[in-house]
Amino acid sequence: MQKLADADLGTLRWTRSGGTHSYQLSSGSNPIATLHWAKAYGTLATAESEGARWTLKRSGFLTPVVTVRDATSGKDLAVLHVHLNNSPLQFPGGATYRWSRTGFWLPSWHFQDATGAELVNFEPVRAVAHLEGGLIVVSPAGRSCPDLLALLVTGWYFIFQSWIEDEATAASVAVLSATSG
């Protein structure tokens, strides 16, 4: 895998790889990171990149939390506290980034730094009922962010989990509508 520091950040994208629950972050044709869910309907995922292996897991219902941990030591690397439009991603060293949705009809998501500067923007790409991948735009401020890879992985993890949860909700509503009619 290519190191993010050596990648062309203008060509980043997440694409499905090897199934509906596996994605690869690439710069052009060069893989940078992978993200794979352990189970089709679980929240535990493993991310790998050059020199790093993390686990990500969502917990909670009304106030969900996404925890990013070092896969070897189990030590927390970051925690995303999900709230409507103000979801901070906090790192133990004190860095905090704001995660939020930026569109309604064509939803996209982004991380901002403490000053409100956008660092990275995610635009999901859908094909029928599948989340095929996502286009990534890294701002000039994001290019120098020391936590950029963690932002890219955590953001995509959140988008995919949200997609799965939305699909499950839509399927439940369809079943309830069909049986109550």
Range of the domain at 134: 4-167
Instruction: Report the residue count for the chain.
Output: 181
For 9, half-sphere exposure in the C-beta direction (CA atoms, 13 angstrom radius) is 19
* Number of structural domains the chain divides into: 1
- CATH number at 76 reads 2.40.160
pTM: 0.89
Let me know if residue 111 belongs to a domain: yes
Q: Tokens in use for 9?
A: 């950040």
Note down pLDDT in tens along the chain; length 181 residues. Answer: 999 999 999 999 999 998 778 999 999 999 999 999 988 788 999 999 998 999 999 999 888 999 999 999 999 999 999 997 789 999 998 899 999 998 777 789 999 999 999 999 999 988 777 788 999 999 999 999 999 999 999 999 999 898 876 555 444 444 555 566 5
